[in-house]
Amino acid sequence: MGFFVEVLISGLMAGVLYSLVALGFVLIFKASGVFNFAQGAMVLFAALTFVRLLDILKDTFAPITLALIITIAMMIMLAMAIERLVLRPLVNQPGISLFMATLGVAYFLDGFGQTLWGSDIYTLDIGIPRGSIFILESVFEGGVLVAKEDLVATVIAGILVVTLAIFFQRTRIGRALRAVADDHQAAQSIGIPLNYIWVIVWSVAGLVALVAGVIWGSKLGVQFSLSLIALKALPVLILGGFESVLGAIIGGLIIGSGEKLAEIYLGPYVGGGIEYWFAYMLALGFLMFRPQGLFGEVHIDRV
């Protein structure tokens, strides 16, 4: 039983990290109806920028703070550039056009980030505790092993989610974001500045990408594979729904725990290595019963 709990907890914690990446997708989808394929590239770009600035600024009085401020500024500039060069010319175009445009942004950012900052593995240490601890030793023999950095990541992700939920539900800008997502033209007609809203939402998505990139980067080192982590967010989105912050969280937890349990308990019967595709199978299974995802909005079109 202790082993099962250990697998479950590690899966839940991995799920929280998937949720962190999925949140970036949700933000942009909620605000613009665009599936942002470049979110993974944004995670890589943000983390690369941060880690390389940290190295450049290491002899200053506050390298982490300075690197953070400059990186945030760069992510906001990136959001402005994307809005100006990619999104604005495509206002009122079909969603698929916007999606394809984000594909281009992803390839550009992947290459540009590596050209600008290099393609090595960069170690990132911002003081997140390393190592592992045993918990529940009185309940299970030998206890349950938990990585400290996963615990910290869970707390950070939790804070971020609560903040974003409040932002969307309780603020004027949050409501404007949701209005824009529903209908670009209708939102514009009642005076919501579409371009301004898009810059805000892409900036917030950039900040989420930075948080995800820093957490993943401190675990793995900052390198190109961070951009592939976005693929882990896809089944989370399918399962949780593209428009729900809560869905991204719950979806992440289900996917994370499901894939780990499957790998451990089903993997040995089919040769192992199943967790990657099992996540998609799990998400597809849910789609059979709830096509809009667990927390996605049901759209009923009059025909």
Partner 1 sequence: MNYGLLFRALLICVPLAISGCGQDSGTDSGTSGEATGMPSNAAGVIVDVSDANAQFVPVLSYRTGAYAPNGAPVANGFTDYLKLINARDGGINGVKISFEECETGYSTSRSIECYERLKGQGPTGAAVFNPMSTGATFAITEKAPVDKIPLITMGYGRSESRNGGVFPWNFPIYGTYWTAADVLITHLGNINGDINNLKGKKIALVYHDSPFGKEPIPLLEKRAEMLGFELLSIPVTHPGVEQKSAWIQIRKQKPDYVLLWGWGVMNSTAIKEAAGVRYPRDQMFGIWWAGSEPDVKPAGADAVGYQAVSMISSGQARVHEDALSYLYDNGLGSGERDGVGEVLYNVGLLNAALVVESIRTAQSKYGEKPLTGEEVRWGIENLDISDEAIEILGLTGYMYPVRLSCLDHEGKRAARLHRWNGESWEYSSDWISADDSVIQPMVKSASDTYAKEAGISTNACDS
- Which residues would be at the binding site for partner 1 (CB under 8 A)? 3, 6-7, 10-11, 14, 52, 55-56, 81, 84-85, 110-112, 114-123, 125, 130-132, 145, 147, 216, 219-221, 223-226, 228-229, 232, 259-260, 263-264, 267, 271-273, 275-276
DSSP 191-212: T--HHHHHHHHHHHHHHHHHHH
Q: Which is nearer to partner 1, 27 or 146 (CB)?
A: 146
Nearer to partner 1, 120 or 137 (CB): 120
> Which run of H or E residues covers position 135?
strand 132-135
Query: How many whole angstroms separate alpha carbon 221 and alpha carbon 224?
Result: 10
Residue type, 133: I
Closer by beta carbon to partner 1, 132 or else 169: 132
Distance from C-alpha of 255 to C-alpha of 294, rounded to nearest angstrom: 12
In the complex, the smallest distance separating the C-beta of residue 139 from partner 1, rounded to whole angstroms, is 18
Residue 71 contacts residue 46 (beta carbons within 8 Å): yes
17, 147 in Cβ contact below 8 A? no
Shortest separation between residue 104's beta carbon and partner 1, angstroms: 15
Shortest Cβ distance from residue 109 to partner 1 (Å)?
Answer: 11
Phi, psi of 249 (to 5 degrees): -75, -50
CB of 157 to partner 1, least distance (A): 16
Query: Is the CB of 158 or the CB of 273 nearer to partner 1?
Result: 273
Q: Which is nearer to partner 1, 117 or 168 (CB)?
A: 117
CA distance 285 to 14: 21
Helix (H, G, I), strand (E, B) or coil at 290: coil
- Give which of 156, 132, 129 is closest to 144, Cα–Cα: 132
Closest among 76, 98, 38 to 199, alpha carbons compared = 76
Pick the closer one to partner 1 by CB: 227 or 244.
227
- Angle formed by the axes of helices 275-289 and 245-265, to 10°? 130
Residue number, 73 or 116, with CB nearest to partner 1? 116
Token pair of 18 as six digits? 């998937």
